[in-house]
């Protein structure tokens, strides 16, 4: 039997311009376990969130912002573990979430990024404003994966790869972005410098980091500095990409979408990073927290703005995807991505 693809109705109005819109009351997919009144406060609830719980968490986050998640759970009067609250907030309640179907541009971008980053869903999500890693992961596993089985990836996205693969392809396979297994998130134990040297022997400097020649090979920003500024994983491929959006391979430069601000209340790695348009700075609308996260994000934003001053169109929550796709269209799919 063949079922047509569909997506459920968005539960919130994605077209709303209001910073916060309360979720529609959800149909119960699963009966929430017990009621807060009946569990005596001892046992933590699991399963689907009730609308009441959502309201509690939402209003707590609105008034207090994010702090320690276990405190959030406790202070908001939720019989949930902090982890559960965090997940609910990030994946569902966050105001900057974009609901609804992925656009073709987004799909293509996901494919593209996945070919580069593998199953690093959080990294991919960081480049798709309003989308969560969970959402992208689900989308990939349920839709794209199946689609790719019936149509090879580089047929869909245009030319890649054999011709464009770096000559050290086999080393890439061994060293770095192994997404063939479920342990894709792992950071390879090899030193990042080694990885970098193997991957990008002729890395360029990016905007904000000088204009040394493409093949200089000696102007790498120190890994430590990159990590400091971006809060990135100790994965040089990612660091290279994140710091300037340019990935150099075999003397060619390829654009990788920059990190965008799409996740309020997360750390600076995944959260607010490129507020190019101050008028849309989310922190203007939301009292993020009172524990300093806001300042951190703004500080990071400053760094980011410098790095990305060539990309003025970056916006929070609404991304010029067309431009982006144009920019990355020159980036080859790297076929070390294995299903």
Closest among 224, 204, 222, 206 to 214, alpha carbons compared: 204
List the one residue out of 77, 53, 82, 80 whose CA is nearest residue 66.
Answer: 82
Closer by beta carbon to DNA, 2 or else 163: 2
- Burial tier of 339 (Cβ tally within 10 Å: 0-12, 13-18, 19+): exposed
**Options 15, 29, 150, 218; binder of DNA; rule CB under 7 A:** 29
Chosen residue from 94, 114, 120, 304 binding DNA by CB under 7 A: 120
For residues 60 and 139, which CB has a smaller minimum distance to DNA in the complex? 139
Q: How do strand 246-249 and strand 252-255 relate by DSSP bridges? A: antiparallel
Interaction between residue 336 and DNA (CB under 7 A): no
> Site for DNA (CB under 7 A): how many residues?
60
Per rule CB under 7 A, is residue 294 in the interface with DNA?
no
Under the criterion CB under 7 A, does residue 6 sit at the interface with DNA? yes
If one asks whether residue 253 binds DNA (CB under 7 A), the answer comes out as: no
Find the binder of DNA among 187, 214, 303, 321 (CB under 7 A). 187
Of positions 192, 270, 289, 305, contacts DNA by CB under 7 A: 270
Asked whether position 234 contacts DNA by CB under 7 A, the answer is: yes
Q: Which stretch binds DNA (CB under 7 A): 139-147, 153-161, 241-249, 280-288?
A: 139-147
The reply on whether position 151 binds DNA by CB under 7 A is no
Which residues of this chain interact with DNA, rule CB under 7 A? 1-9, 11, 27-31, 45-49, 67-70, 82-84, 86-88, 91-92, 119-123, 133-135, 137-139, 141-143, 146, 179, 181-187, 234, 266-267, 269-270
């Amino acid at each position: 039997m063949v079922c047509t693809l569909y997506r459920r109705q968005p539960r919130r109005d994605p077209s709303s311009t209001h910073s916060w819109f309360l979720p529609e009351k959800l149909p119960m997919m699963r009966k929430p376990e017990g009621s807060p009144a009946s569990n005596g406060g001892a046992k933590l609830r699991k399963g689907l969130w009730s609308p009441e719980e959502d309201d509690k968490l939402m209003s707590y986050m609105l008034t207090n912002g994010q702090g320690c998640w276990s405190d959030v759970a406790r202070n908001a009067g939720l019989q949930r573990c902090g982890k559960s609250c965090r997940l609910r907030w990030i994946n569902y309640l966050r105001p900057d979430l974009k609901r609804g179907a992925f656009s073709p541009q987004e799909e293509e971008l996901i494919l593209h990024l996945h070919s580069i980053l593998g199953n690093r869903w959080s990294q991919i999500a960081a480049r798709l404003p309003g989308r969560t890693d969970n959402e992208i992961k689900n989308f990939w596993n349920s839709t794209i994966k199946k689609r790719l089985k019936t149509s090879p990836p580089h047929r869909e996205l245009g030319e890649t790869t054999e011709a464009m693969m770096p000559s050290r392809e086999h080393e890439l396979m061994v060293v770095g972005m192994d997404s063939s297994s479920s342990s894709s998130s792992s950071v390879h134990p090899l030193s990042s410098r080694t990885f970098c040297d193997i991957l990008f022997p002729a890395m360029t400097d990016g905007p904000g980091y000088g204009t040394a020649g493409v093949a200089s090979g000696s102007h790498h920003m120190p890994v430590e500095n990159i990590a400091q500024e971006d809060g990135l994983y100790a994965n040089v491929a990612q660091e290279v990409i994140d710091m300037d959006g340019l990935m150099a391979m075999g003397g060619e430069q390829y654009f990788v979408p920059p990190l965008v601000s799409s996740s309020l209340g997360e750390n600076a790695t995944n959260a607010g990073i490129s507020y190019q348009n101050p008028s849309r700075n989310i922190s203007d609308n939301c009292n993020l927290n009172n524990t300093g996260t806001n300042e951190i994000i703004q500080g990071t934003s400053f760094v980011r703005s410098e790095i990305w001053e060539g990309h003025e169109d970056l916006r929070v929550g609404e991304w010029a995807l067309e431009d982006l796709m144009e920019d990355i269209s020159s980036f080859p799919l790297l076929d070390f991505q294995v299903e």
